């Protein structure tokens, strides 16, 4: 049998498209990096927090205790205020307790409560992102949990001279049963219209689930999916079956609103099916309140842009996928970006498809590639799901684009080679979008495809310049993209550095330099301050850090250190919360990522159950 390898090629008009998109010949969009304004000065200077050396330092959350406001020369005391930990009880609710499709509390088989804290026997990492929302003169917080069974809780906050605390008897479980339940909620953001925009990471592979489904038990080859089947849908071994599980229920962008018009607030919940389905770290909405960028976490993943039809309404819009056109392999690399249109949809029409509980073979015909080649009529793709030959079935393009976004994007020629694509934030002071790449490895360094760089296990943060109002952006078929916030290039801004320290050194366990980032995860920009906050999710620093990176001076300052075995998730800059600013920080699964031989590092063996709970708090307050 004869095989033809399907090659992904740029269109013949690529050069013209680059000019149309406003790029210079070298792809820099006229600017490559941060160009300081003539009168620009950094306004914040943090005192440096040392890397932990003593056992007590390694086993606790530590934060720098002062900041200098350079404009006035005044130094203020700041710190970390803990707000809530998993297993805490408020208003009769237990923080992080997961619930099933009837909103009944879930228990493990031994009868103990199923709390998503990242260190018990459940499937997941614990509390991840918390958003602070302002509504009707009140302050609220929405919290999401990164377990197979996604959980969300809302609560009211109270403020006293800048100090925040959780209001007694205010916590509510946020039901997701109207939208097929939640799934692996990761990072998020507070939207410009004061809602919480969340995520559903590591979408289940519908092909694998279809191939491995046991009809008698309804279990599959996906352990996380099985966990949801058993505990959320109460469908273990087909006993007490109440509903079927389906992989297309998960992998979407959820939004939570709060109506504070009454004494007891009402938290509203929806999923934005028109934003596509992938392993979403988060969706980040730009200042126009229409354009959003979506990061796809994993190996061989893509980068996406969504443009809503109307501001403050993500229920309908157009989805695009990026193609990396490399212009330099130095450091973390540099590229032009072109945008491939995947389609337009509304939440309602995609939800209707999902509610029909399709299977993978309803959407695609599949063949296994031979020597990375496919039969005629099939397209070769290499994504997080592996190497495949795919053909979209007749009439299923919209389903393919929005239910299998990464696979469809690869078929259309988009780049699906990124590795551990994580947080996103926007610097309005310089018109730069920042995207964290936790590692520059695997598909980015395998010598194949679009991205061809050198390995850096410590990762990097990339900058992407915004075209702006004066530079129209066009997609690969030369259709104008209806947004002034289109990015057209991508370049390394700051990277971690592999390191080796001598035996006996305080940093002996560090394999990325102690003075810089390791596996950047979530990022947030402190608008007006020239500071990019970078949180880590790493095993290359025994304790994870949050850094303040000055985008003008390039100075890196360590400002937070989390307990051993934990991940620092979702630092997020919350501005003007009744006159104060805060950096929210979540410490996920303290003492949770502990392997054999690590017990001598810190007080791991002596950690109590309470110390192992995930918790959220705020760093600050800041008063400008």
Which residue positions in the chain have pLDDT lower than 70? 1-42, 235-243, 469-472, 593-606
Does residue 620 belong to any structural domain of this protein?
no
Q: What is the DSSP letter of 480?
A: B
Give the pLDDT of residue 90: 98
Direct distance between the N- and C-terminal alpha carbons of the chain, in angstroms, rounded to an integer? 71
3-state secondary structure of 238: helix
Q: How many domains does the chain have?
A: 1
Number of CB atoms found within 10 A of residue 290's CB:
21
Q: Rounded to an integer, what distance in angstroms lies between the CA atom of residue 217 and that of residue 235?
A: 8
Q: Can you tell me which residue has the tokens 């006993």?
A: 239
State which H helix or E strand residue 352 sits in.
Answer: helix 347-355
In a domain, 305, yes or no: no
Cα distance between residue 36 and residue 423, in whole Å: 24
Give me the half-sphere count of Cα atoms (radius 13 Å) on the Cβ side of residue 174: 26
Buried b (16+ CB within 10 A) or exposed e, 22-36: bbeeebbbeebebee
Encode 537-559: b = buried (16+ Cβ within 10 Å), e = exposed. bbbbbbbbbbbbbbbbeeebbbb
pLDDT for the residue numbered 591: 85
Q: Is 131 among the domain residues?
A: yes
pLDDT score of 229: 95
Whole-angstrom Cα distance, residue 189 to residue 283? Answer: 8
Closest CA relative to residue 52, chosen from 577, 561, 398: 561
State how far Cα 271 lies from the chain centre.
Answer: 16
* In a domain? residue 286: no
Q: Is residue 162 part of a domain?
A: yes
Q: What whole-number distance in Å separates Cα of residue 94 and Cα of residue 92?
A: 7
C-alpha 306/C-alpha 356 separation (Å) is 25
What global pTM score does this model have?
A: 0.92
pLDDT digits (tens, 9 = 90+) for 236-269: 443 444 468 999 999 999 999 999 999 999 999 9
Query: Over the stretch 83-100, which tens digit does the pLDDT of each residue have?
Result: 999 999 999 999 999 999
Distance CA 396, CA 484 (A): 31
Residue 186 in domain: yes
Cβ pair 306, 315 in contact under 8 A: no
Question: What does the pLDDT read at residue 8?
Answer: 29
Residue 602 maps to a domain: no
**How many angstroms separate the CA atoms of 99 and 286, rounded?**
33
The span from the CA of 601 to the CA of 618, in Å, is: 27
Residues 285 and 291 sit within 8 Å (Cβ to Cβ): yes
Domain of 222 in residue numbering reads as: 79-235+247-273
Distance separating alpha carbons of residues 555 and 313, to the nearest angstrom: 38
pLDDT at 44: 85
Is 308 part of any domain? Answer: no
How far is the C-alpha of 441 from the C-alpha of 301, rounded, in Å? 12
User: Residue 89 has which token pair?
Assistant: 């009880």
- Residue length, the chain? 624
């Amino acid at each position: 049998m004869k095989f033809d390898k399907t090659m992904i090629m740029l269109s013949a008009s690529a050069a013209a498209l680059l000019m149309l998109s406003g790029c210079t010949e070298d792809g820099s969009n006229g600017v490559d990096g941060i160009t300081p304004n003539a009168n620009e000065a950094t306004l914040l200077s943090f005192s440096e927090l040392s890397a932990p050396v003593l056992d007590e330092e390694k086993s606790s959350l530590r934060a720098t205790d002062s900041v200098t406001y350079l404009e006035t020369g005044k130094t203020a005391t700041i710190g970390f205020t803990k707000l809530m930990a998993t297993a805490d009880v408020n208003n009769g609710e237990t923080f992080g307790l997961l619930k099933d499709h009837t909103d009944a509390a879930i228990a493990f088989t031994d009868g103990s409560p199923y709390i998503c804290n990242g260190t018990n026997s459940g499937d997941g990492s614990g509390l991840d992102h918390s958003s602070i929302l302002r509504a009707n003169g009140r302050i609220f917080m929405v919290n999401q949990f990164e377990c197979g069974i996604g959980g969300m809780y809302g609560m009211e906050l109270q403020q006293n001279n800048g100090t925040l605390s959780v209001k007694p008897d205010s916590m509510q479980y946020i039901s997701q049963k109207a939208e097929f339940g939640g799934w692996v909620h990761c990072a998020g953001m507070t939207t410009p219209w004061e809602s919480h925009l969340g995520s559903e990471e590591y979408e289940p592979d519908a092909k694998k689930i279809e191939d491995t489904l046991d009809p008698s038990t309804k279990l599959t080859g996906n352990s996380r999916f099985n966990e949801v089947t058993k505990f959320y849908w109460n469908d273990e071994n087909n006993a007490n079956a109440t509903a079927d599980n389906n992989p297309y229920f998960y992998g979407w962008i959820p939004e939570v609103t709060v109506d504070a018009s009454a004494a007891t607030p009402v938290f509203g919940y929806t999923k934005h099916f028109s934003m596509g389905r992938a392993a979403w770290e988060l969706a980040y909405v730009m200042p126009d309140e229409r354009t959003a960028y979506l990061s796809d976490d994993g190996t061989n993943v893509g980068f996406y842009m969504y443009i809503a039809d109307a501001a403050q309404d993500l229920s309908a819009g157009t989805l695009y996928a990026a193609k990396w056109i490399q212009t330099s392999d130095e450091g973390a690399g540099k590229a032009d970006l072109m945008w491939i249109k995947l389609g337009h949809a509304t939440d309602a029409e995609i939800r209707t498809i999902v509610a029909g509980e399709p299977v993978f073979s309803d959407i695609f015909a599949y063949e296994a590639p031979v020597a990375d080649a496919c039969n005629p009529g099939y397209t070769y793709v290499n994504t997080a799901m592996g190497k495949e030959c795919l053909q979209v079935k007749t009439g299923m393009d919209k389903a393919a684009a929005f239910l299998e976004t990464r696979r469809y994007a690869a078929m259309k020629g988009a780049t699906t080679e990124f590795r551990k694509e994580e947080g996103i934030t926007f610097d309005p002071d310089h018109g730069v979008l920042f995207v964290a790449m936790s590692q520059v490895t695997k598909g980015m360094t395998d010598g194949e495809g679009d991205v061809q760089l050198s390995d850096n296990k410590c990762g990097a943060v990339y900058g992407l310049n915004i075209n702006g109002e004066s530079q129209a952006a066009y997609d690969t078929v030369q259709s104008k993209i209806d947004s002034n916030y289109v990015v057209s290039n991508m370049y390394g801004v700051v990277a971690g550095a592999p390191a080796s320290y001598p035996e006996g050194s305080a940093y002996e366990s560090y394999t990325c330099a102690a003075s810089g980032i390791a596996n950047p995860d979530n990022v947030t920009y402190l608008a007006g301050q020239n500071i990019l906050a970078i949180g880590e999710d790493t095993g290359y620093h025994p304790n994870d850090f949050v850094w303040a990176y000055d985008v003008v001076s390039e100075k890196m300052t360590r400002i937070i250190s989390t307990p051993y075995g934990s991940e620092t998730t979702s630092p997020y800059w919350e501005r003007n919360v009744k006159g104060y600013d805060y950096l929210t920080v979540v410490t996920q699964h303290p003492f949770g990522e502990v392997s054999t031989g690590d017990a001598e590092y810190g007080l791991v063996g002596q950690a109590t159950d309470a110390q192992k709970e995930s918790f959220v708090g705020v760093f600050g307050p800041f008063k400008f």
